[in-house]
Amino acid sequence: MKRFGKRFYLALVLLFLYTPIVVLIFQSFNAGKSRAKWEGFSFRWYAELFHDQAIMRALYVTLSVAVIAAIVATVLGTLAAIGIHAMRKRPQSAMMTLTNLPMTMPDIVTGISLMILFTFSKIERGYVTMLLAHITFNTPYVILSVLPKLRQMNKYTYEAALDLGASPGYALWHVILPEISPGVITGCLLAFTLSLDDFVISYFTTSPMVQNLSTLIYSKARIGIEPTLNALSALMFLALLSLLLIVNRRSAKTAQLQG
């Protein structure tokens, strides 16, 4: 009976979480505009979605910012993780506190802080400021993805490579990076997913002239939900779900190899 109760509770939670998403995807194939009446199966709203210039511009901004931010954050985060790992215990603890702090703060605090910084620096908000903001909040996640792999690595491997005549750059590229590559890839995928899905920080660090998908959906939702937004939301959900499945599969495979 206890086992049945646990399964029933889990099913109830999953039903509560995913029923609205299933309804949204179902409505994206409704031929009519009414959400209360089914008017037939159709790909009409998906076709109109790809002909909507505002949505296509927002999609370009979203993907380009996510890709660039993920790459830059991965490079910065990996180098920072290597530096933190090489520190002594007390400075390392201080740096880990500073790394964890942005992740524990609410997004609205980070967004407003960055907006004030850009305004104080007289930097016009737009594509560049949004990109810088995404790099800023993505980097700590990469650091925390790479550090466990550095701790698992034999600390004498790097020194042995130097003793055998390798330069620091060669040892970094051919010795350290192959060892920590699972953490680097996981951090990159996580950074891309977070950037793709962000709204609050993007809202405060961009202008109305440069919008990503999340800010565009917010602005459109205030004047009424269009059926094209159902199609867009369905595609975004499937894309993010695919990325999360890839990340989880890599994590499970890595854990299986280590076990």
Q: Minimum mean pLDDT among 3-17, 72-86, 158-172, 242-256: which range?
A: 242-256
pLDDT tier for residue 74 given thresholds of 50, 70 and 90: very high
Q: What pLDDT score does 76 carry?
A: 94
Give the alpha-carbon dihedral of 186, 189, 190, 196, to 10 degrees: 180
> Per-residue pLDDT tens for 214-254?
888 888 777 777 788 888 888 888 887 887 787 777 767 76
CA 18 to chain centre: 20
Q: Cα(106)–Cα(54) distance, rounded to whole angstroms?
A: 29
* Distance set, CA 142 to CA 93, 120, 201 (Å): 17, 28, 18
Q: Is residue 72 part of a domain?
A: yes
Examine residue 98 and state whether it is found in any structural domain, yes or no: yes
pLDDT one-digit tens code per residue, 13-49: 888 888 888 888 888 888 777 777 777 888 888 888 8
CATH code for position 229: 1.10.3720.10
The pLDDT of residue 259: 56
Domain that residue 199 falls in: 53-258
Q: 88-146: per-residue pLDDT in tens? A: 888 888 888 888 888 888 888 989 999 999 999 888 999 999 999 999 999 999 999 99
Task: Evaluate whether residue 231 is within a structural domain.
Answer: yes
Residue 122 falls within a domain, yes or no? Answer: yes
Split into its structural domains, the chain has a count of 1
Q: Please measure the distance between the N-terminal and C-terminal CA atoms of the chain and give it in whole angstroms.
A: 34
Please tell me what DSSP assigns to residue 52. Answer: -
| Within a domain: 30 | no
The residue-averaged pLDDT of 157-164 equals 77
- 12 belongs to a structural domain: no
SS3 210: coil
102 assigned to some structural domain: yes
pTM, entire model = 0.81
CA distance linking residue 218 with residue 225, whole number of Å: 10
- Both structure tokens of 24: 């949204």
Q: What is the pLDDT of residues 179-213, one digit of tens each?
A: 888 889 889 988 998 898 888 999 999 988 888 88
In a domain, 19, yes or no: no
Q: Of the spans 38-42, 50-54, 82-86, 143-147, which averages the highest pLDDT? A: 143-147
| Exposed/middle/buried for residue 212 (C-beta within 10 Å: 0-12, 13-18, 19+) | buried
Amino acid at 16: F
Per-residue model confidence (pLDDT) at position 128: 93
Task: Find, among 4, 126, 121, the residue nearest to 65 by Cα.
Answer: 126
Q: Closest Cα to residue 75, out of 169, 138, 127, 129?
A: 138
Half-sphere exposure of 203 (CA within 13 A, CB side): 15
